[in-house]
């Protein structure tokens, strides 16, 4: 037992060092930069209270939330169909079709969508940015929905149907609750990716679709305000981590 525990500790050391070196160390570096010359708190207060920054942060959160909710609503019936209605060959084909967009570079996907939106007379702005983020992250939500639906034992659904539950009620009260950890994980990841995306808002946002990712780029690389950019990055990281923690705690509390 002690030998097995020692082996597990030895195996866990390299990934732990990797996370400390390439995730937490850069965050600590940003924390030092965020102090700037005006004190530790001043950059955070300026980011949160300056009207133009505050407006961009709130709009980015609302846009990312809308993309996350829309992707979940769309992915639910798709995941259900792949697991419960499609044949094995059809399910494999659909999964390949949904994963295939990730092979294409995000820049090319955003440019192709920009051309399509221009043909539909949708000008660059928040609408185009939201559609672009939904277009880019929807396959990821579908994969999580499929994984969640796939993990629910079909015998539970059959038992509920035998006891008189309709097909809709069985999936509403059994499949979705049991798949909720995967659905929540997909929603949180889509939310975080949409919140911090830079490529899609840069190509589809125009002059009005300015997001948190664009603002961080502007502050650090264009405006040479490392203190404000670092403070904003840390605030987004903390808010994202807190959101993920609250969502997962709520999901597992409901399941428990």
Q: Where are the domains of the chain?
A: 1-35, 41-255
Other C-beta atoms lying within 10 Å of the C-beta of residue 181: 19
The whole-number pLDDT of residue 26 equals 79
Instruction: State pTM to two decimals.
Output: 0.81
- Spatial distance between the Cα atoms of 190 and 195, rounded to a whole number of angstroms: 8
* pLDDT value at residue 77: 87
Question: Distance (Å, rounded) from C-alpha 253 to C-alpha 184?
Answer: 13
The band of 66, judged by pLDDT with boundaries at 50, 70 and 90, is very high
Cβ 175 vs Cβ 153: under 8 Å: no
Residue 63 sits at the vertex; the CA angle it makes with 58 and 68, to the nearest 5 degrees, is 125
Percent of the chain whose predicted confidence (pLDDT) is above 70: 92
| Reported confidence tier of residue 2, pLDDT bands at 50, 70, 90 | low
For residues 24 and 193, give the distance between their C-alpha atoms in angstroms, rounded to a whole number.
19
Query: 206-222 pLDDT, tens per residue?
Result: 777 778 888 888 888 77
* 180: its two tokens: 């909720």
- The 10s digit of each residue's pLDDT in 100-124 is 877 777 888 888 888 888 888 888 8
Per-residue tokens: 129: 């940015």
Fold of 41-255: MetI-like fold (1.10.3720)
Q: Would you say residue 37 has pLDDT above 70?
A: no
């Amino acid at each position: 037992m002690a030998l097995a525990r020692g082996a597990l500790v030895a195996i866990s050391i390299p990934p732990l060092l990797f996370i400390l070196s390439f995730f937490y160390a850069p965050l600590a570096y940003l924390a030092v930069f965020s102090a700037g010359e005006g004190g530790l708190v001043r950059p955070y207060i300026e980011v949160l209270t300056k009207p133009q920054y505050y407006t961009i942060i709130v709009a980015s959160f609302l846009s990312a939330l809308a993309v996350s909710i829309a992707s979940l609503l769309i992915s639910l019936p798709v995941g259900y169909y792949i697991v419960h209605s499609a044949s094995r060959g059809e399910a494999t084909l659909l999964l390949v079709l949904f994963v295939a967009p990730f092979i294409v570079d995000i820049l090319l996907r955003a440019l192709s969508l920009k051309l399509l939106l221009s043909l539909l007379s949708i000008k660059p702005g928040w609408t185009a940015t939201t559609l672009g983020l939904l277009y880019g992250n929807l396959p990821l939500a579908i994969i999580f929905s499929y994984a969640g639906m796939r993990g629910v034992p079909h015998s539970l659904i059959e038992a509920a149907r035998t006891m008189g539950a309709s097909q809709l009620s069985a999936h509403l009260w059994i499949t979705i609750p049991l798949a909720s950890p995967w659905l929540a994980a997909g929603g949180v990841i889509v939310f975080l990716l949409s919140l911090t995306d830079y490529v899609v808002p840069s190509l589809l946002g125009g002059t009005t679709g300015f997001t948190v990712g664009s603002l961080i780029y502007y502050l650090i690389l264009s405006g040479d305000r490392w203190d404000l950019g670092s403070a904003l990055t840390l605030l987004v990281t903390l808010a994202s981590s807190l959101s993920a923690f609250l969502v997962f705690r709520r999901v597992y509390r409901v399941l428990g």
